[in-house]
Structure 1
Amino acid sequence: MDDLPPPILLEILRRLADSADVARCRVSSKTLNSLAAELRSVNLHWSYLRYAKSRSPPTTRSPPITPFKEVFSKLVSELRIVESVSIGVEKPLRFAAYEDIEDEDDDLFLSDAGFVKAWIPRVCGDLVSLSISDFWVQSCWRRSDVLSLISSYCLKLVELEIKNAWLSVDSLTPMPNLTTLTLEFIRLDDENLEKVNECFPCLQVLNLIGVGGLKEPKIHLAHLKTCHWTLSNAPISISIIAPNLIELTLTCVKPKLLFIEAPLLSQLSLSLENASNFKVKEFSSLRKLHLESTSLRNLLATFPFGKTVNNLTAVSTRWEVPVGVCKSIFELLLCAFPNVSSLTLTAGVWSEFEAYPGLGGLEFRVRMEGLKEITAYLTVNDIEVTLATIVSLLDSCSGVSDISMFIHRDVVSHVTNSLISRCVYHMAHRASLRWKWGMWKEGTKDAWISDGICQPSFQSFQFVNEF
């Protein structure tokens, strides 16, 4: 390898995602060792195995483990320019339960301001990306001033990510160059997000995942374009004012108030049970909506917007027998979103539709003519009911040209074969109808079985059971 030109060797080193792998290469080659100083990033994450070994008494076969902070400090000191730093613990260690690990040490307390202050002055001049993933067992009871430290030193920072820490916003100064901020599993001493709005004014991407300590949080950012916000179950008031926001993913349960003012919003993923007070300024640009709820039917009855949506995914996470049903869930969806052309029904929604499949009269069927694509996730508890529901739906939706059916992986193959064959046979008169078949299961990736155009001469379907 030493015979390769130095630029190629340097490019090989740059493509190694883990700094530990870089260190191994440096030991094996003098040329690689000399070139390593030209790298501009450090990516070091501690494994559970190394953590466990560091807690065991050293033996002749098992020498003592060099502490994480010492390893990292040496790596940083050997680089001429540092543009990116990513340090942390691996997921199995990060989510270790308290009863499994009792730890009052601070060797993996990586958001410790004292530790960060020892190395950040040396790299801050060129640093544009910083990620710190703390060890929650050591960090949860230690409040950190690392945010104010970073804001004081890292004037060129563009991306900042901090996970599993208790963060103070005292002495936080504005960071006008920061465009991406991720706070995940954070206890934040900024109950209304006032400091976040004030000190990160140019954010374009904001991810707040499991951030605790919030009371009446408000996001008010003029340049924000993408936001992913996952809140706890606490019934708090939530406000989002973002004139340039395009994509929003919001997960909450029962907010006292949900207020959204985002006139350019085009993609929204909303997960909630209900809101005591749901206020939005008109979404004239909203086209794609993912709506998830444990009480989807009740939510649709009071949904404040939906006329512009043309791509809709409906998710019901808890299905219960509705009381006094007068309309099917399918009717409610198309009443709330009358201009939908592409509709996805997950398993809970489809199961309720099978139980209450009514599709209204002629007026409602005329409204459904705009629907072009249907995707459904099936469990097939009764093949006759499922078949009848599919046929009835397609007979009513004359404008549908593409239908995708995902059958649960636990359904036996002969039932899947039968459903596919009979569906295509019963809809043989719709020569232009395109079928796509796939399989799904919780926690796994959807897999396609096959697809094709429904032909009147169709007699059988060969099910490929390889997924």
Structure 2
Amino acid sequence: MDDLPPPLLLEILSRLDDSADLARCRVASKSLNSLAPDIRSVNLQCSYLRYAKSRSPLTRSSVTPFKAVFNKLVSELHTVESVSIGVEKPLRLVAYDDVEDEEDDLFLNDVSFVKEWLTKVSGELKSFSVSDFWVQSCWRRSDVLSVLSSYCLSLLELEIKNAWLSVDGLTPMPKLTTLTLEFIRLDDENLEKVNECFPSLKVLNLVGVGGLKEPKIHLMHLKSCHWTLSNAPESITIISPSLVKLILKCVKPNLLAIETPLLSDLHLSLESACHFKVKEFRELRKLNLESTGLRNLLNTLPFGRTVRNLTVISTRWEVPVGVTKSSLELLLCAFPNVTSVTLTSGAWSEFETYPGLGGVESRAQMKGLRGITAYLTVNDIEITLSTIFFLLDNCISLSSMALFIHRDVVSIVTSSLISRCVARCARVQWKWGMWKEGTKDAWISDGI
């Protein structure tokens, strides 16, 4: 390897994801050791094994402190553009009650530690990611946002996980375009500081951010937003004229206000219906809708006419007494121009329970439906077949059906279902697959 040209060696080193691997390469080769200071990124993750050794009376004296290892790596580089530091996944799952850790050796958002290395690299730093050790960070409030905004004037991407963050002293970071806060306790209950200090954000991920009361996202340049709320605020507001994709998961806010005229891809997860305040979605084409009270939600949605591709996820369908419309009819009433529908197992099971149509109007609405993807449990093959045949008879434009059968269904039932469906309708392109909770979908055959 020492015979390779230096630029090629540097490229190889730059592709190493783990700085620990880089350190091993430096020991193994003089050429690699001489080129290593030109690497522009640091990625160091504390493993559970290292953590365990640092706690054991037999080995702790021989373990170099994690922060010291990181500081040494940073100090040896000429220019640092990207920093990623954190704890590996097994450590993230450690509960405070299991450890009662009063130490701070893995409190990575500690301001004194951050300042120690940040002052050396802040001028060129473009990306910073830190995944803290929750056991040590959950009860220590950090002013790391204030420090980053003071030193990192060129920062473009920021990711912080597993921390308690204060916004005291936070100043605007006009160059930052991507912000991810995951499993964060945030002292900014309405997101006022986030809106004020990150005006140029194009990508915002707020996953499991607690402490929010009436949060409002008001960002003019935002294009993609993933927002999962860990509590149940009274109201949720999103005003983003450039937003194209939104993933929103919440419980049941009293008010959900969305003003995003360019939105084309929406993933919405709600427990049940709430009060909507929504400007018209003229560009909305793709919708993933998830709810435990989907029937009520479908009756209250103030949008849907532009949706073409619809996915329905339900974990608890409830068929009210005296119902006159099937679940599919409700979907087609709410989304009259849909051409493709995906029904998860809960939605399909309810449809099997009550597949009937209400009348001529409902039949007319089904003419535009061209493709159905469904996940089947096949508790009774005759009921499943009658539901499939009902769709074939009433959806006259239907040209494609992709049916995934649960892996626990015996093979003779699966074979019978496939053969009878193919024999019943030749105009449809049949696709068959298998599914099971926690496993990846697999195709049995494609394009029969």
Letter in 1 for 2:331: L
Aligned to 1:103: 101
| Contact kept in structure 2, 1:197 and 1:219, CA below 8 Å | yes
Q: Between 28-37 and 408-417, report the one with greater CA deviation.
A: 408-417
Q: What does the per-residue CA deviation read over 1:106-157, in whole Å, with 9 as the maximum and x for residues that have no partner? A: 0110011110000101101110000010000000000000000000000000
Distance 1:274 1:319, change over 3 A: closer
Map 1:217-232 onto structure 2 (within 5 A): 217-232=215-230
Aligned to 1:41: 41
Q: What does the per-residue CA deviation read over 1:330-355, in whole Å, with 9 as the maximum and x for residues that have no partner? A: 00000000000011111000000000
Question: 2:447 aligned with 1:452, yes or no?
Answer: yes
| Contact kept in structure 1, 2:212 and 2:231, CA below 8 Å | no
| Contact kept in structure 2, 1:256 and 1:275, CA below 8 Å | no
Q: Tell me the TM-score normalised to structure 2 length.
A: 0.98
Aligned to 2:85: 87
Letter in 1 for 2:438: G
| Contact kept in structure 1, 2:224 and 2:243, CA below 8 Å | yes
| Contact kept in structure 2, 1:127 and 1:154, CA below 8 Å | yes
Letter in 2 for 1:84: S
Alpha carbon RMSD of aligned pairs, Å?
A: 1.1
Shift of 1:272: 0.2
Question: 2:298 aligned with 1:300, yes or no?
Answer: yes
Pick from 341, 363, 366: which aligns with 1:365? 363
Aligned to 1:309: 307
Aligned to 2:157: 159
Question: Identity rate of aligned residues, in percent?
Answer: 76
Aligned to 2:403: 405
Q: What does the per-residue CA deviation read over 1:177-223, in whole Å, with 9 as the maximum and x for residues that have no partner? A: 00000000000000000000000000000000000111100000000
Aligned to 2:279: 281
| Contact kept in structure 2, 1:258 and 1:275, CA below 8 Å | no
Gaps of 5+ in 2: none
Aligned to 1:29: 29
Q: Secondary structure at the match of 2:222?
A: coil
Letter in 2 for 1:157: L
| Contact kept in structure 1, 2:273 and 2:296, CA below 8 Å | no
Q: Between 92-101 and 41-50, report the one with greater CA deviation.
A: 92-101
The 1-side partners of 2:58 and 2:322 are apart by 70
Q: What does the per-residue CA deviation read over 1:425-452, in whole Å, with 9 as the maximum and x for residues that have no partner? A: 1113x2xx11111111112221111112
Aligned to 2:346: 348
Letter in 2 for 1:419: L
Letter in 2 for 1:64: S
Gaps of 5+ in 1: 454-467
Letter in 2 for 1:378: L
Aligned to 1:184: 182
Pick from 431, 438, 444: which aligns with 1:436? 431
Q: Secondary structure at the match of 1:130?
A: strand
Q: What does the per-residue CA deviation read over 1:333-380, in whole Å, with 9 as the maximum and x for residues that have no partner? A: 000000000111110000000000112333322221111111001111
Pick from 206, 209, 212: which aligns with 1:208? 206
The 2-side partners of 1:162 and 1:324 are apart by 51
Q: Tell me the TM-score normalised to structure 1 length.
A: 0.94
Matched pairs, number:
448
Letter in 2 for 1:259: A
Q: Secondary structure at the match of 1:290?
A: strand
| Contact kept in structure 1, 2:213 and 2:233, CA below 8 Å | no
Shift of 1:63: 6.0
| Contact kept in structure 2, 1:233 and 1:254, CA below 8 Å | no
Question: 2:6 aligned with 1:6, yes or no?
Answer: yes
Any runs of at least 4 consecutive aligned residues in structure 1 with deviations exceeding 4 A, and if so which?
Answer: none
The 2-side partners of 1:422 and 1:362 are apart by 28
Letter in 2 for 1:107: D
The 1-side partners of 2:69 and 2:321 are apart by 63
Aligned to 1:425: 423
| Contact kept in structure 2, 1:257 and 1:275, CA below 8 Å | no
Q: What does the per-residue CA deviation read over 1:288-327, in whole Å, with 9 as the maximum and x for residues that have no partner? A: 0000000001110111110000010011122334333111
Map 1:129-278 onto structure 2 (within 5 A): 129-278=127-276
Aligned to 1:15: 15
The 1-side partners of 2:94 and 2:221 are apart by 37
Shift of 1:276: 3.3
